[in-house]
Amino acid sequence: MGLFFPVDPAPGAKIGGMIAMSCSGTNAYRYGTMKEWVISLTAVLADGTVITTRKRPRKSSAGYDLTHLIIGSEGTLALVTEAVLKVTPLPTNLHVGKATFPSLQAGVDTAIAILKSGHLLEAIELADKPSIASINHSKLAKEHFEETPTMFVKFAGSQETVSSQISFVKNTCKDNKGLEFEASSDKRRIDVIWGARKCIGNALVTMKKAPTDIFISTDAAVPISAMAELIKETNNIIESQPFDTSTWFCANVGHVGDGNVHTAIVCPVEDKEKAEQVLVEVQRLALRLEGTITGEHGVGLKLRDMLVEEVGEAGVGVMRALKKTLDPRGILNPDKVFRLEGEKGARTGRLEKL
């Protein structure tokens, strides 16, 4: 019917999980996240009460925004059973582009120049050299890509809009030491280029040298103005480790259109703690840059002890109070997002006792 649901997370995501995590993906810069595309929810509370957060108006100011309270609550407040979603007309005249750079910084500078220009592309993604190497290594893409930092972009709209955007992006790449630039509306070429971008998540996992190797990644997001520093300092953090990282594989891939960068590490399982500590440092860096520890993946168990660094004791305190009000016995996905019992819970290992 010429319509689509624009939230575009990694392949495999389901609507329920997307609501739970308030997820997004490559289209978030242009279209927003689940927060912007869910109109209402029907959900079962811990005591069996069924609520419908609203009917189907495109907008509403009727009482507290229970829809958004549930989106991103990771199953801890209610069990979602129905969702009303918005759809929007499919982009017309779709073109996909790819630009290569001698350094990741050059790619970041280009992306920021595009964002500042006011040209509203459909998507702006950036992958560093190791990410591109993982695509080639995985054989998940339909061609071999030159292993250098690469920007993936999408254009849509009238012919004049797209032509002017493509020419602006091409010139901006050139001004920022760009190596090669191509853009195409050919369906097969779009599949090859965008397919390469979309496979990166799976491609990174194929960099494991042993089946026991671990794959972990960050989900930091910062204001656009701080993105260059996030990427530069992230590399500094990894390179300055005092221990042997020669057996590690590290890559950065970013939804640079909205300041969200995933730093991935594949390493031997015996380095797990060290690698996790590196990611914690990257997350703290994101917070110093006024960003978030998770732009789209959610908190879960992994980030729950860092959430307090983002929203403070007071913020987590409010979340915990809301949880206790709606789920006093703690039966819905307990101890995710934050520990039900607070710091005391951390010490006594409440999870084991449940």
In the window 111-150, what residues touch its own copies (CB under 8 A)? Answer: 118, 120
Please name which of 155, 175, 179 lies closest in space to residue 110, comparing C-alpha atoms.
175
Contact range with its own copies by CB under 8 A, out of 30-38, 125-133, 262-270, 346-354: 30-38
Please name which of 23, 125, 307 lies closest in space to residue 320, comparing C-alpha atoms.
307
E strands within the chain? 3-4, 38-44, 50-52, 79-85, 88-89, 95-100, 123-127, 150-155, 181-184, 214-217, 220-221, 249-255, 260-267
175 binds its own copies (CB under 8 A): no
Q: Could you give the CA distance from residue 126 to residue 8 in angstroms, rounded to a whole number? A: 16
Q: Could you give the CA distance from residue 6 to residue 36 in angstroms, rounded to a whole number? A: 10
Q: From the CB of 250, what's the least distance to its own copies, in Å?
A: 22
Is-contact 6 19, C-beta < 8 A?
no
Contact range with its own copies by CB under 8 A, out of 61-69, 176-184, 271-279, 345-353: 61-69
55 binds its own copies (CB under 8 A): yes
Neighbours of 243 (CB within 10 A): 9
Residues in 283-322 at the binding interface with its own copies, rule: CB under 8 A: 286-287, 290-299, 303, 307, 310-312, 314-319, 321-322
* Beta strands 260-267; 150-155: pairing state: unpaired
85 binds its own copies (CB under 8 A): no
Q: From the CB of 174, what's the least distance to its own copies, in Å?
A: 22
92 binds its own copies (CB under 8 A): yes
Binding residues for its own copies, how many (CB under 8 A)?
A: 85
14 binds its own copies (CB under 8 A): no
Q: From the CB of 26, what's the least distance to its own copies, in Å?
A: 13
Contact range with its own copies by CB under 8 A, out of 98-106, 198-206, 241-249, 253-261: 253-261
158 binds its own copies (CB under 8 A): yes
Q: Could you give the CA distance from residue 154 to residue 26 in angstroms, rounded to a whole number? A: 10
Using only C-alpha atoms, the chain has a radius of gyration, in whole angstroms, of 21
243 binds its own copies (CB under 8 A): no
247 binds its own copies (CB under 8 A): no
252 binds its own copies (CB under 8 A): no
Residue among 250 and 307 whose Cβ is closer to its own copies = 307
